[in-house]
């Protein structure tokens, strides 16, 4: 039974991790290297993350600099950035690529907060789905007389507490990201 709890909690923890990763890709008007995590470059025929091709620096709040270790890769990195969905045009000076992040408009900030809210809600649904699956598993065990009615009630209570804890975490993560986006 303890293993089942641990499995449920691990699934919920993975959901939280996925949400954090997902939200790190939303740009909040300031430079954040996490935005580049999903961008891959064709490095001599192998799809490679940008972070493994060179240094990524944040010299100013709204500027990211990518300095490939192999200068001949500049064109490939630039092509990958243009093909990605980050929405910023790279500036290439032959040695480094600069990404200048424009300040977000008020309208765009509101759109992004809606996106963050939706992602939060989607992850809450995932948490509740994990709860439902776990409860179905325990109800099946009760039906087979593997656990008692009292055990089932205790399990339902514990899983609900776990669900509430993770839903609250999602709310905190979402609201922190929304504040970050609305910050001027």
- The first and second tokens of residue 89, run together, are 């045009």
Number of structural domains (the chain) is 2
- 154 CB-near residues (< 8 Å, 6+ apart): none
Q: Which of 84, 100, 116 is the last residue of a domain?
A: 100
What average pLDDT does this structure show over 130-159? 91
Q: pLDDT at position 184, please?
A: 62
Q: Are residues 21 and 41 in the same domain?
A: no
Out of 25-29, 74-78, 80-84, 110-114, pick the least confident. 25-29
Q: Are residues 66 and 134 in the same domain?
A: no
Domain harbouring 81, CATH code: 3.30.1360.40
What average pLDDT does this structure show over 15-26? 85
Q: Are residues 110 and 161 in the same domain?
A: yes
Q: Which of 79, 100, 121 is the last residue of a domain?
A: 100
The answer on pLDDT for 171 being more than 90 is: yes
Domain harbouring 111, CATH code: 1.10.132.20
Q: Are residues 19 and 45 in the same domain?
A: no
What average pLDDT does this structure show over 104-126? 89
Q: Burial level of 122, CB count in 10 A (0-12/13-18/19+)?
A: middle
Dist CA 28 CA 105 (whole Å): 11
Q: Are residues 72 and 115 in the same domain?
A: no
Q: Are residues 111 and 94 in the same domain?
A: no
Q: Are residues 38 and 81 in the same domain?
A: yes
Q: Which residue range forms the structural domain that includes residue 128?
A: 2-25+105-182
The answer on pLDDT for 1 being more than 70 is: no
Q: Are residues 84 and 135 in the same domain?
A: no
Dist CA 24 CA 32 (whole Å): 8
The pLDDT > 70 percentage for the chain reads 96
Helix, strand, coil fractions of the chain, as percent rounded to 5: 60, 15, 25
Q: Are residues 38 and 19 in the same domain?
A: no
> Which residues of 21-168 form beta strands (DSSP E)?
40-43, 46-49, 54-60, 63-68, 91-92, 97-100
Global confidence as pTM: 0.70
Decide the pairing of beta strands 91-92 and 97-100.
Answer: antiparallel
Q: Are residues 83 and 141 in the same domain?
A: no
pLDDT 10s digits, 92-104: 888 888 988 877 7
Q: Are residues 112 and 166 in the same domain?
A: yes
CA 9 to chain centre: 18
Q: What band does 173 get if pLDDT is binned at 50, 70 and 90?
A: very high
Residue with tokens 């008020």: 106
What average pLDDT does this structure show over 26-42? 77
Average pLDDT along the chain: 87
């Amino acid at each position: 039974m303890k293993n089942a709890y641990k499995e449920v909690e691990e699934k919920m923890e993975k959901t939280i991790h996925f949400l954090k990763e997902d939200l790190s890709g939303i740009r909040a008007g300031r430079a954040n290297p996490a935005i580049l995590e999903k961008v891959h470059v064709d490095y001599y025929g192998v799809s490679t993350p940008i972070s493994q091709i060179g240094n990524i620096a944040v010299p100013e709040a709204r500027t990211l600099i990518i300095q490939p270790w192999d200068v001949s890769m500049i064109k490939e990195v630039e092509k990958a950035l243009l093909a990605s969905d980050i929405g910023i045009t790279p500036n290439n000076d032959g040695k480094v690529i600069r990404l200048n992040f424009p300040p977000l408009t008020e309208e765009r900030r509101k759109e992004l907060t809606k996106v963050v809210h939706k992602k939060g809600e989607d992850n809450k649904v995932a948490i509740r789905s994990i709860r439902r699956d776990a409860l179905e598993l325990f109800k099946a065990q009760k039906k087979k007389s593997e656990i008692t009615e009292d055990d089932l009630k205790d399990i339902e209570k514990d899983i609900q507490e776990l669900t509430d804890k993770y839903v609250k975490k999602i709310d905190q993560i979402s609201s922190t990201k929304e504040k970050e986006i609305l910050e001027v």
